[in-house]
Amino acid sequence: MARLLPFNIAVVSTVFLFVCTKSVCCNNGRRVGDALDTEFSGFSVPLEHSFEVDDVAKFRVRGALLLKAGREPSVLLNQNQLSEEDRTKLKEVAAVDGLYRIQVPRVFLLADRQTERQMEGYLTAFVRACAMVESHLSDSITLHTDVSGYLIGVSIVTLPGACRGTEVEDEVDLEVFNTTLHVMPPVNATGPGTAWFIERMEQESEKKSKNPQEQKSFFAKYWYLILGGAIFLMASNSAQPPAGGGREQS
């Protein structure tokens, strides 16, 4: 089986058949010599995997992440089929409840930003090998990025994910990868809703009204009314004649 060259970042111009969904495309299980009719040009990043009976990771190329130029991350996944030797080894690892690992280099998922930052190691994820076998190589890989499009995490799950001891035929079920690839940018936290904000303000107002230290005295609130009333009474009293006045005498 032809193997992909283990390079970190390289400009490639290749032709392959792919199925696109929301800027993420997968070509699962490409055979050498297959008819390919779609052209792609961009940067290529290796997707590697490891499954060993002694559980000592020995990564080798599983496929390539092809990064398309543009303002938003656009990733195409091109994968090779498992060889007969790899199919046998994967079942042996599954029999001893070993692990199936993948790794990708930490790079920008934007093809036009590859020269801005050097690769800083690898990101690794794993599942139980028995789950990989019993799912018939059906997995879902998620690439997590920061706001700039730099790869900060990778995760993998199988579909289904449980190990039930189901028998799997090598030639039929363990030859072609059936992979769903997702790119997950960071999610911005939402601000408080209007209803929540109003309710919060009402609670604060009610709390203050129950605190006697925060309440003003009656005179402090209504001094101007009290003063006006006193002036009015004084003016009214001064305008009235004195009680019990004398009569004129003839």
What pLDDT, on the 0 to 100 scale, is given for residue 113? 72
Is 167 a domain residue?
yes
Is 82 a domain residue?
yes
Is 219 a domain residue?
no
Question: Among 64, 53, 49, which Cα is nearest to 7's?
Answer: 64
Sign of torsion, CA 189 141 78 111? Answer: positive
Q: How confident is the model at residue 77 (pLDDT cuts 50, 70, 90)?
A: very high
Q: How confident is the model at residue 234 (pLDDT cuts 50, 70, 90)?
A: confident
Cβ-contact 123, 163 below 8 angstroms: no
Is 236 a domain residue?
no
Q: What share of the chain is helix, strand, coil (3-state, %, to 5)?
A: 30, 30, 40
The whole-chain average pLDDT of the chain stands at 75
What pLDDT, on the 0 to 100 scale, is given for residue 13? 33
Question: Is the pLDDT confidence value at 217 over 90?
Answer: no
Q: What is the mean pLDDT of residues 63-82?
A: 85
Is 127 a domain residue?
yes
Range of the domain at 68: 43-184
Is 62 a domain residue?
yes
Domain count, the chain: 1
CA dist., res. 75 & res. 54, Å (int): 33
Question: Is the pLDDT confidence value at 47 over 60?
Answer: yes
Is 150 a domain residue?
yes
Question: Is the pLDDT confidence value at 89 over 80?
Answer: yes
Q: How confident is the model at residue 21 (pLDDT cuts 50, 70, 90)?
A: very low
What pLDDT, on the 0 to 100 scale, is given for residue 29? 54
Q: Which two tokens stand for residue 167?
A: 């028998």
> E strands within the chain?
10-15, 19-21, 24-30, 39-50, 60-67, 75-80, 99-105, 122-128, 138-145, 151-158, 178-184
Question: Among 73, 93, 77, which Cα is nearest to 85's?
Answer: 93
Is 206 a domain residue?
no
3-class SS at 91?
Answer: helix
Q: Tell me: the pLDDT tens digits for 152-204?
A: 999 999 988 889 888 887 767 899 999 999 999 887 765 556 666 677 777 77
What pLDDT, on the 0 to 100 scale, is given for residue 26? 60
What pLDDT, on the 0 to 100 scale, is given for residue 129? 95
CA dist list (Å): 249 to 167, 243, 246:
137, 19, 9
CA dist list (Å): 69 to 36, 38, 72, 153, 203:
21, 16, 8, 21, 52
Question: Among 95, 228, 225, which Cα is nearest to 168's?
Answer: 95
